[in-house]
Structure 1
């Protein structure tokens, strides 16, 4: 079997405008309800949040817990498997912070307000 780069597979989970923001919230909060997530991610629509949550759930990154009550209570959290993304996301966060500093050093006048 031919070996190939699996970066694409990993990026499918993270790429897009919203998935990493959802994961950031769920990593930093143990459990969040749908409306809490929506409020914590400015600009995301209900439809987009629902879609992104479903994709993450299908990939076993997050779990959806429905409580049988009226009105229904739904909570989202990271799965144990999804928690394995934390070191990767932490590294990406650190790299992003360092990149901003690097650009500030290279081009200090372009980032001044």
Structure 2
């Protein structure tokens, strides 16, 4: 969490107000966020299957990233499955699906066009 009185906070707020893309870039720059999004797209729709797919992610970070994706309406959380214990599943929203497609294109671009360090 950013300190609300910091210069960094003011600068980030300015950038986000100037262009919404800056807010998206800031969100996507959070470690593991895109991998969680891609993993859900691949069908890993439960916390345990996400943990298995992303073996090095901590429980706290995974929970935080799921909350962020839900907050930005990129995924939906379905906990209406009547089981004990309660079963929670995640799915991409149409917005999350569109973003995932664009990110996939950026991944392909960076893989083929960005020859950093060569």
Q: Which sections of structure 1, spanning at least 5 residues, go unmatched?
A: 108-113
| Root mean square deviation, CA, Å | 1.9
2:84 to 61, 70, 84: 70
Paired residues in the alignment total 101
Q: Which runs of 5+ in 2 are unaligned?
A: 1-16
* Map of 2:54 onto structure 1: 41
Q: Distance in 2 between matches of 1:12 and 1:90?
A: 18
Query: Shift in Å at residue 35 of structure 1?
Result: 0.3
Name which of 35, 54, 57 aligns with 2:67. Answer: 54
1:79 matches 2:79: no
Specify which structure has the bigger relative contact order, considering alpha-carbon pairs within 8 angstroms and separated by 6 or more residues.
1
Could you list the runs of 4 or more consecutive aligned residues of structure 1 that deviate by over 6 angstroms after TM superposition? none
1:80 Cα deviation from its structure 2 partner: 1.4
Say if 2:106 is the partner of 1:96: no
Using structure 2 for the length normalisation, give the TM-score: 0.75
Aligned match of 1:12 in 26, 29, 32?
26
